[in-house]
Amino acid sequence: MIATALTDHELVALAQKGSEKAYRELLGRYQRPVFSLVYRMLRDREQAEDLAQETFVRVFNNIGRYDPKYKFSSWIFKIATNLTIDHIRKKEVATVSIDGSRYAVTADEIEASTITVASGDENPEELLEAKELGESIEGAIGALRPEYRTAILLRHVEGREYQEIADIMGLPLGTVKTFIHRARHELRAKLEHLRV
């Protein structure tokens, strides 16, 4: 059995030798972060699943080219963000409202492309408030420029350092700081009515 205490680098080394368990452990570690990032970028569950799968397939089928000088997380997020931003540019995926993708037509499509924020809070009023806040934030994030969205999600949902975000996005550190600052500023303006 693969110990979960192994580092990403150690798992990659095992994967390079053909260990399927090492691949599955890496999948277990990164499937939620990668899927969450892509899903919040696209707001479409089906497309997000496809692109997240494509990210892992590309990473795993090129595992021999992995350079251990860099973090594995940086590599996989870089591929995920590049694929997603390319997809957005090609398909002109909308910066959609919380009601789902503008391409959604049927009730099922609307539901699939609507992000619903769950809360563990049991108080109905607080639950409603948290749900409203969460959905407003998701909607506001969805309305940001794709580059701002990527930077803000990597920083706050994935907890990545500024330098790692710069590596992932292939941008200078100062540009990333500016993106994150502007993204927060836009979010503040959009969420003013909720007194965030």
Nearer to other proteins, 18 or 124 (CB): 18
Task: Indicate the residue among 92 and 193 with the shorter CB distance to other proteins.
Answer: 193
Confirm if 85 and 147 have CB atoms less than 8 A apart.
yes
**Residues in the site for other proteins, rule: CB under 8 A?**
1-2, 14-24, 27-28, 31-33, 35-36, 39-40, 48-49, 52-53, 56-57, 60-61, 63-64, 115, 117-118, 133-134, 137-138, 152, 155-157, 177, 180-181, 184, 187-188, 191, 195-196
Q: Could you identify the residue written with the tokens 């696209």?
A: 42
Of 74 and 119, which has the nearer Cβ to other proteins? 119
Query: Minimum distance between the CB of residue 104 and other proteins, rounded to whole angstroms?
Result: 17
State how far the Cα of 52 lies from the Cα of 172, in Å rounded to an integer.
Answer: 26
**How many beta carbons lie within 10 A of that of residue 188, not counting itself?**
11
User: Which residue's entry shows tokens 């563990």?
Assistant: 120
Asked if residue 187 lies in contact with residue 140, where contact means CB atoms within 8 angstroms, the answer is: yes
Considering the complex, state which of residue 40 and residue 78 has its C-beta at the smaller distance from other proteins.
40
Helix (H, G, I), strand (E, B) or coil at 10: helix
Q: In angstroms, what is the minimal distance from the CB of 64 to other proteins?
A: 7
